[in-house]
Amino acid sequence: MKKGIIAGIALLGVMALAAAGCSGSAGATSSGGAKSDKVITVGFAQTGSESGWRSANTESMKDAFSAKNGFKLVFNAADNKPENQIAAVRSFINQGVDAIVIAPVVTTGWDDVLKEAKDANIPVILEDRTIDGSADLYKAWIGDDFKKEGETAGAWAAKSLGAQATNMVVLEGTTGSAPAIDRATGFSSAIKGSQIKTLDSQTGNFTRADGKTVMEGFLQKYGKTINLLFAQNDDMGLGALDAIKAAGLTPGKDIQIVTIDATHDGLQAAADGQFNFVVECNPLLGPTVAQTVKDVLAGKDVPKSQTATDQSFTPEQAKTALPDRKY
């Protein structure tokens, strides 16, 4: 997308968060704020570019941390490798940036480098994903409720298919990542007591290519006994569509599919009847993160946790939402 379009997207996303008015929700603050002569240098350690959701998230962050908003952004994408991301954070520390923003690839292994940032008096903000480290190592987290997303997806599956024997396969996200862990936990709790049985569950690394490859393996092993696919993001589900069709099966009918993200491509698959249910994960977090950075550097108190509001979509709801979909 062009940056002008993305700027409008970010603004609409933030306005939507404000309208939700939920206690503890991510604020609808603009990243513009008061004018300042000092340019704020921010290092942003992104996971990579594994999905359509991630691309939209990156563009939202880049637009919010723009020069017109008083920032200089030092950007690094880790190609989904934790060691690359930790090296990037150390580089930000050595460069003496004013603040560091991280979308952690995995939840573990952060204590040492975050202690280094703290010793250097560089505040850290977590974006999108969380960590298992001590809460005093970062100032705030802004993102989506992954466990609730899993619960919403699982509740649909339990209501739609749980009353009869249903064989499910699962395409997991990046092993050890917060969304993979929390979405699995939420989904499992929601289908507890139903007749949904998990035949297999493997990582597809949040990518279309791996989603297709893993689904091919599931189909070779279990064939037509598979009734349900839970893909922890749209891209893996979209990759799985190719494998399902190649096996002579009809996605959405022979194998029902529930995914998470609600990107434009995911909603299009739902509108086409290939996905049966899609849960949203809002990627437009940039303006709220940028304002939080400004507030932290100004010495203001900020909420430790700020959560975006997510929707869900049936095929009919996807058709309605698509014309105005922003990512």
pLDDT by position in tens, the chain (length 327): 333 433 333 333 433 333 333 333 333 333 334 445 699 999 999 999 999 999 999 999 999 999 999 999 999 999 999 999 999 999 999 999 999 999 999 999 999 999 999 999 999 999 999 999 899 999 999 999 999 999 999 999 999 999 999 999 999 999 999 999 999 999 999 999 999 999 999 999 999 999 999 999 999 999 999 999 999 999 999 999 999 999 999 999 999 999 999 999 999 999 999 999 999 999 999 999 999 999 999 999 999 999 998 999 999 999 999 998 888
| Residue 323 domain flag | no
- Do 74 and 26 belong to one domain? yes
* Cβ within 8 Å of residue 192, ≥6 positions away: none
- Do 140 and 183 belong to one domain? no
pLDDT (0 to 100) of residue 44: 98
- Do 166 and 75 belong to one domain? no
Sign of the dihedral defined by the CA atoms of residues 119, 125, 131, 136, in that order = positive
**CATH number of domain containing 262:** 3.40.50.2300
- Do 55 and 180 belong to one domain? no
| Residue 211 domain flag | yes
pLDDT (0 to 100) of residue 326: 81
- Do 261 and 168 belong to one domain? yes
| Residue 103 domain flag | yes
| Residue 152 domain flag | yes
Contact between 82 and 37 under an 8 Å Cβ cutoff? The reply is no
| Residue 117 domain flag | yes
- Do 138 and 176 belong to one domain? no
- Do 199 and 159 belong to one domain? yes
- Do 60 and 73 belong to one domain? yes
| The two three-digit tokens of residue 279, written as one number | 């849960």
| Residue 295 domain flag | yes
Burial track 131-140 (b if 16+ CB lie within 10 A, e otherwise): bebeeebbbb
| Residue 46 domain flag | yes
- Do 174 and 289 belong to one domain? no
Closest among 277, 51, 263, 264 to 174, alpha carbons compared: 51
- Do 15 and 31 belong to one domain? yes
261: containing domain: 146-280
- Do 208 and 298 belong to one domain? no
| Residue 272 domain flag | yes
pLDDT (0 to 100) of residue 140: 98
Domain count, the chain: 2
- β-strand pairing of 305-307 with 140-143: parallel
- Do 161 and 183 belong to one domain? yes
pLDDT (0 to 100) of residue 133: 87
